[in-house]
Chain A
Amino acid sequence: MAKVRIENVVKRFDQQEAVKQFSLDIDDSEFIVLVGPSGCGKTTLLRMVAGLEKVSEGEIFIDDVRVTHAPPKKRDIAMVFQNYALYPHMTVYNNLAFSLKLRKFSKQEIREKVTQSAEMLGLAELLDRHPNQLSGGQKQRVALGRAIVRDPKLFLFDEPLSNLDAKLRVSMRAEILDIHHRLNSTAIYVTHDQMEAMTMGTRIVVMKDGSIQQHGTPQEIYNRPVNKFVGGFIGSPAMNLISCTVEAEGDSVYICSDLFRLLLPASKAKCLNAAEEENIYVGIRPETLYFVEKQDPANKTESFQVDVKLVEPLGAEQLIHFTMAGTTMVARLDPHIPIRYRDRITLGVKMTEIQLFNHQTEKNIEDC
C-alpha cells in the first residue's frame, strides 16, 4: 500500500493535450476509480502512473518518492490489463512466478507465494495450463493473480472487466474488492462504466476531455454533481436534463417548460436570484419524480401531466418514458401502479432534490 501524489500532470500528443493539469492525492488503501467517456484521458493517466507513457509536464510521487521518469520496472506497481496480457507461451504457474523469478526469489519461496495467490483466486487446478486453454474469466483471474503475487505498492486496473459478460463482471467486481480489502492495498481503477465506478470506489474521479470534472465519494457525486456533465454521466438511468426558462413573480421563482411551471423552494431560489438568468438547465433524477393520484389544484406548482411513451417493468420498479421539450425523460415509479402506453398520468417532483445548472457555464448554481 502507498500514498500517491499526482501534481499538475499534462500529457501532450503532438499539439493535442490528452490530459490537462491533472492533480490528485491518493491515500493509503484507497480504491480510486477514474471514470469518464472514451477519450477522456483516464487510461492515458493510468499509463503515466505506470510508466508506460511519458509525462509531458508535472510530477508523480509514490510514497513521497519522485517516480515521474523512472522506468516501469522500478516503480513496484502491478497492472491488470483489459486484454489480460498473459504470457502465451508460459503455463499459468510460470505466468504468476515470472516477476518473482526476476527478483531472484528462491524456488521454495516462489512456490509458496504462487500457491497462496492461486488459492486466493481459485486457480489451484489450472496451474499447468496455458493461457489459450483458459476461459475469459479464468484469464482475468490469472492476470489478477500475477499482480497479487508481487505484493506491490500500488495496483492499477485498466478496464479489466470490459471483455467479460455481465454476470461474470458482477462476480469479478466482488472478487477484486475482496482482494483489495484483504491485502489492504492502494488501487487506481479505470472504467467507462459509471455503475462499476459507483459500486467499487471509495472515491470516484470523473474525467472529461482530459480534466477532472469532480472527485469525491460516490454518494457525494451522485447527490451533488458539480456540473451538467457529471450529473448526466453518473446514475442509471441517467439524470433527466432539460432547458427551462426562469420566471420571477414577486418573491417566488418559477422554472418553466412546455409541460410545467414549478415553484423553486427558497433554498434553491436564493442562488438563482444572484445569477439573474433567463434560462437554466434543470436536472431531475428518475427517482425524484413520483406518481400523483389526483392532480391537486393547489399543488400545481409541484406536479404536471405527461403522456406515457413507454413502460419498462423491471420487477422491483417500473420506468416510465415520456417526452418533454423534445427530449425523452424517464421516471422511476412504484411497480404496482397500473400504467399503460398512452396513459395520461400526473407526476410530482421532489423540488428539494433537483439540480440546477447555469445555462452558460453548466456549473451547479448551488455552489455560490
Chain B
Amino acid sequence: MTDTHRTEQASDYISRLEPDSRMESLLDLIDRNIRWLFSLPAILVMLLLFAYPLAQLIWTSFTNTTLSSVEAPKFVGLANYIRAFTQDTHFWDSFFLTLYYAVGATIGQLLLGLVLALFLNKQFKGEAVFRMLIMFPLIATPVAMSLVWSLLMNPMMGHLNYYLSLIGIGPSLWAADTKTVMPTLIGLEIWHHAPMAMLVLLAGLRSLPREPFEAARVDGASRLRIFFHVTLPLLKPYIFLLLLLRIIHSLKVFDKIFVISGGGPNRASETLNITIYQQAFGSMDYGYASVLSVIMLLLILMISFSIFRFRERQWRY
C-alpha cells in the first residue's frame, strides 16, 4: 500500500468522525445528553403535578382559604392545625376510624389470603381457571361493585339477607346501622383484596426452597410446627411487603365508603378521606381540608417508615 493510498484512507476516516449531516449532529447531541433528555419528561410531569401542588397544599394549610371566599386568604399559621387537634372532635373520630379500617382490613386480608394460599398450594385440575376467576373482585370497577353491594345489602329489599337466611344466618342491617357499618365495610375490603394477597403469598410459597422443609420433616417436626417455624419465617419478606402495600392502600380507600355509606350513618364510617372530601367540596372549607390532607400525608409517611424500619431490623433470620 502506497503512502498516498494511506492518506486517502485517513482522510476518509477523519471525515467519518465528523458528523456528515445535521441529522447526525442532532443525534450526537441527543446521545451525549441522553440521561437528562430521557428523564426530563417524567421529572417535569412529577414536578408540575406532584411537587408544585403539594407545596401549594402545605401553604394553603397555613391560610384560611375557602373555595367560595371573595377576599384574599390570610395567613393564619398553625391555627388550623390547632383547631384540628383540639377543637374538632370529629377529626379524632375520623382519624381512629381510618386506622380501624386500615388495620382491620389489612389483617383480615393477610389472614384470609394466607389460609387460601395454603389451601390452594397444590396442583389440581382447573387451577389456572380458578385462580383467574378469583381475581374478579380485584379487577372489577370498585364503584360498580360498591353499587352492587349496596343493592344487595339494602336492609329492606336487598337479596343478601334473603340468601343468607337460606343457610341459617340471621338478617343484618349491614351498612345502615352505625354499629355494623364499619365491620361491613371492612369485610367488603377483605373480600375485595384477599385474592391478591392470596396470589402473592401463593407465589411466595411456590418459590420457597425445599431444603428447610425436608430437613424439618426428617427431624420429625409436626405439620403445625413446620408451619410456624419454617413456613412463616421464610414467608416474612412477602408478608411484610404485603403488609406495607395493603395498609397504605387501605388508608386511602375512598370509592367503596363513599358509594355505600357516604360516611354515615351519622358519620359512623367517616374516614379521613371522606372527611376531607366533605370539608373541601361540601362545606367549602378549603383551608381546613388542606390541613387534614397534610395530616393524612404525614400519617401515611409515618406508618410506612415504621414498617420499613421494622422490616429492616427483622430482615436477618
A and B, direct touch (CB closer than 8 Å): yes
B9 proximal to A (CB < 8 A): yes
B71 proximal to A (CB < 8 A): no
Residue of A nearest to B13 (CB): A65
Q: Measured between C-beta atoms, what is the minimum distance from B224 to chain A in Å? A: 46
Residues A65 and B31 in contact, CB atoms below 8 Å apart: no
Residues A74 and B31 in contact, CB atoms below 8 Å apart: no
Q: Which of A28, A63, A70 contacts B10 (CB 8 A)?
A: A63
- How many angstroms between the C-alpha atoms of A67 and B9 in the bound complex? 15
Residues of A with C-beta under 8 A to B1:
28
The B9-48 residues at the A interface (CB cut-off 8 A) are 9-10, 13-14, 16-17, 28, 31
Residues A70 and B17 in contact, CB atoms below 8 Å apart: yes
The A58-107 residues at the B interface (CB cut-off 8 A) are 62-65, 67, 70-71, 74, 76
B6 proximal to A (CB < 8 A): yes
Which residue of B1, B6, B13, B16 has the most chain A CB atoms within 10 A of its CB atom?
A: B13
Q: Which of A62, A63, A67, A76 contacts B6 (CB 8 A)?
A: A63
Q: Measured between C-beta atoms, what is the minimum distance from B31 to chain A in Å? A: 7
Q: Which of B6, B9, B17 contacts A74 (CB 8 A)?
A: B17
Residues of A with C-beta under 8 A to B17:
65, 67, 70, 74
Residue of A nearest to B31 (CB): A71
Q: Measured between C-beta atoms, what is the minimum distance from B6 to chain A in Å? A: 7
Residues of A with C-beta under 8 A to B31:
71
- How many angstroms between the C-alpha atoms of A63 and B13 in the bound complex? 8
- How many angstroms between the C-alpha atoms of A67 and B298 in the bound complex? 54
Q: Measured between C-beta atoms, what is the minimum distance from A357 to chain B in Å? A: 42
- Give the interface size bracket for A toward B: 10 to 19
A-B contact count (CB 8 A): 20
Q: How many interface residues does B have (CB within 8 Å)?
A: 10
Residues B16 and A76 in contact, CB atoms below 8 Å apart: yes
Residue of B nearest to A74 (CB): B17
Residues of A with C-beta under 8 A to B28:
71
Residues of A with C-beta under 8 A to B14:
65
Residues of A with C-beta under 8 A to B9:
63
Q: Measured between C-beta atoms, what is the minimum distance from B185 to chain A in Å? A: 48
Q: Measured between C-beta atoms, what is the minimum distance from B157 to chain A in Å? A: 58
Q: Measured between C-beta atoms, what is the minimum distance from B265 to chain A in Å? A: 59
Q: Measured between C-beta atoms, what is the minimum distance from B88 to chain A in Å? A: 56
Residue of A nearest to B27 (CB): A73
- How many angstroms between the C-alpha atoms of A24 and B150 in the bound complex? 81
- How many angstroms between the C-alpha atoms of A71 and B33 in the bound complex? 13
- How many angstroms between the C-alpha atoms of A65 and B1 in the bound complex? 18
Which residue of B10, B14, B17, B31 has the most chain A CB atoms within 10 A of its CB atom?
A: B17
Q: Measured between C-beta atoms, what is the minimum distance from B18 to chain A in Å? A: 9
Residues B10 and A64 in contact, CB atoms below 8 Å apart: yes
Residues B10 and A74 in contact, CB atoms below 8 Å apart: no
Residue of A nearest to B28 (CB): A71
The A248-267 residues at the B interface (CB cut-off 8 A) are none
- How many angstroms between the C-alpha atoms of A62 and B14 in the bound complex? 10
Q: Measured between C-beta atoms, what is the minimum distance from A292 to chain B in Å? A: 55
- How many angstroms between the C-alpha atoms of A71 and B30 in the bound complex? 13
- How many angstroms between the C-alpha atoms of A71 and B31 in the bound complex? 9
Residues of B with C-beta under 8 A to A70:
17
Residue of A nearest to B24 (CB): A74
0/1 interface trace, chain A 145-172, chain B, CB 8 Å (1 if under): 0000000010000000000000000000
Q: Measured between C-beta atoms, what is the minimum distance from A300 to chain B in Å? A: 60
Residues of B with C-beta under 8 A to A153:
13
Q: Measured between C-beta atoms, what is the minimum distance from A50 to chain B in Å? A: 15
Q: Measured between C-beta atoms, what is the minimum distance from B143 to chain A in Å? A: 40
0/1 interface trace, chain B 130-149, chain A, CB 8 Å (1 if under): 00000000000000000000
The A228-280 residues at the B interface (CB cut-off 8 A) are none
Residues of B with C-beta under 8 A to A67:
17
Residue of A nearest to B32 (CB): A71
Residue of A nearest to B11 (CB): A65
Contact residues of B with A, CB < 8 Å? Answer: 1, 6, 9-10, 13-14, 16-17, 28, 31
A-B contact pairs, 10 of them (CB 8 A): A28-B1, A63-B9, A63-B10, A65-B10, A65-B17, A67-B17, A70-B17, A71-B28, A74-B17, A76-B16
* Interchain residue pairs A-B with the least CB separation, the first 6: A65-B13, A63-B10, A74-B17, A65-B14, A70-B17, A64-B10
Known pairs A63-B10, A76-B16 / 18 extra A-B pairs, C-beta < 8 Å: A28-B1, A62-B13, A63-B6, A63-B9, A63-B13, A64-B10, A65-B10, A65-B13, A65-B14, A65-B17, A67-B17, A70-B17, A71-B28, A71-B31, A74-B16, A74-B17, A76-B13, A153-B13
